[in-house]
Structure 1
Amino acid sequence: MQFSQVREAIAEAARAVVLPPGVKASLTCTGYTPDAVTEPHFFVGEFSVEYDKTFGRGLDEAEFTCRALVGRGDDRASQEVLDALLSGGGPSSLKAAIEAARGAPGEAALGGLADDLHVTRVQGYRWYEHAGVQYVGAELIIRVIGDGS
């Protein structure tokens, strides 16, 4: 797997999200941790890799920690937007948008960059400080498996 390409492909898949009615902004998505956040914002942050999951460099498994950050203009409204992003399905669901990039059965994921991916969990629903600004946010953990060579 080429990690920079995988990160950008995850961000590209997240761009399919449609924010809930009444939200005037669109979701900004980046495959890297940005210096400044344009809210609401989804980005692919740190990751860990387990090499050699199969013999002969056949498979590596990466776990990407992504964050969704929403502005604090109104605490309740911000959390409602974040809740929609974290839902398991629907047009605002990051899980649904990202897992749509798995491709059809038998196809490679992320446009051929990986064998498969799965949004496994949400964690860390809390206030985040990023570049000196407070946001309500959460982390999404995405497991990606692919060719180790």
Structure 2
Amino acid sequence: MDITNVRAQLAVAASAVTLPGASLVCTGYMPDGVTTPCFFIADYTIEYDKAMNRALDHIDFTARVLVGRADDLAGQALLDAMLSGSGPASLKVALEAARGAPGTPALNGYAHDFRVTRVQGLRLYEHNGVQYLGAEISILVIGDGSA
């Protein structure tokens, strides 16, 4: 799998989220500075050789979503909406829309398939010396190990 393009396609998919009165800033890489609300790929682990001859790898991406703390209740409500399993602000819905039709490659052809598997770590995150409210989203991507 081409990790750079998978990261980019995940960020493009996340940008389809519709937020009330705000735009979600999305990037495939951890930014130096954060403009909230923000979605980015923070980390990943790779399981190689899930099938013989480099036919299949699994990459478990950890995305982070951060919101501002100027109004703690509004930030938590915004985060709740983005972590929901449904609705126009749902990151799960926006991301999984990039799976494509059944039988077609996902993420513009850069993966066989993927799915959002869980949300974890709902807490304060420090990023470049500033604290934000946030959470981590796990995304399992399955694709050709030799590509």
Q: TM-score range by the shorter chain?
A: over 0.9
Q: Distance in 1 between matches of 2:17 and 2:102?
A: 22
Give, as a single letter, the amino acid of the residue that structure 2 aligns with 1:65: T
- The superposition leaves residues 14-46 of structure 1 with CA deviations (integer Å, 9 ceiling, x where unpaired) of 000001x3xx32000000000000100000111
The residue that corresponds to 1:111 in the other structure is 108
The residue that corresponds to 1:143 in the other structure is 140
The residue that corresponds to 1:10 in the other structure is 10
Runs of 4+ in 1 over 4 A off after TM superposition: none
Give, as a single letter, the amino acid of the residue that structure 1 aligns with 2:10: I
1:128, CA displacement in angstroms? 0.6
Q: Distance in 1 between matches of 2:22 and 2:31?
A: 18
Give, as a single letter, the amino acid of the residue that structure 2 aligns with 1:16: A
Q: Distance in 2 between matches of 1:65 and 1:25?
A: 23
Choose from 53, 59, 62 the match for 2:59.
Answer: 62
- The superposition leaves residues 120-143 of structure 1 with CA deviations (integer Å, 9 ceiling, x where unpaired) of 000000011101111000000000
2:26 paired with 1:29? yes
Alignment of 1:77-92 (within 5 A): 77-92=74-89
1:115, CA displacement in angstroms? 0.3
1:62, CA displacement in angstroms? 0.2
The residue that corresponds to 2:45 in the other structure is 48
Percent of aligned pairs sharing the same letter: 62
Structure 2 residue runs without a partner (length 5+): none
1:58, CA displacement in angstroms? 0.4
Structure 1 residue runs without a partner (length 5+): none
Q: Distance in 1 between matches of 2:87 and 2:75?
A: 18
The two structures have a TM-score, normalised by structure 1, of 0.97
The two structures have a TM-score, normalised by structure 2, of 0.98
1:73, CA displacement in angstroms? 1.1
Q: Distance in 2 between matches of 1:56 and 1:5?
A: 22
Paired residue secondary structure (1:56): coil
Give, as a single letter, the amino acid of the residue that structure 2 aligns with 1:108: P
Task: Count residues with an aligned counterpart.
Answer: 146
1:11, CA displacement in angstroms? 0.3
